[in-house]
Amino acid sequence: MKIQNKKEIVLSVEDVQNILFDHLTKQYKLDGNFDFNFVVARKSFPSQYPSDSNYRHEFDGVKIMVTHE
C-alpha cells in the first residue's frame, strides 16, 4: 500500500505577481515599477474528426516590464 500526502494550493493573479516581484527584487536586484502581462495562447489539439477545430486556452508565459523612475 502506498500512502501519499497531497497539498493543493490555489494562487490568485495577485499572489503570482507578488511571488515574481519578490523573486526578481531579491535574486536580480531589480527595482522600479513592475508591469505583468500574463500570456494565454489558443492551442489546438487533435480530434477524432479532422474537420473539427478543437482548441484550448493555456498559460504560455508572462511578459514583465520594469520601468525606473
What is the residue extent of each domain of the chain? 32-69
Q: What is the pLDDT of residue 4?
A: 86
Neighbour-count burial of 32, counting CB atoms closer than 10 A to its CB (0-12 exposed, 13-18 middle, 19+ buried): exposed
Residue 32 three-state SS: coil
pLDDT in tens, 6-65: 899 999 999 999 999 999 999 999 999 999 999 999 988 777 776 667 888 999 999 999
Distances (CA, A) of 26 to 7, 17, 19, 51, 65: 27, 14, 11, 50, 17
pTM above 0.85, yes or no: no
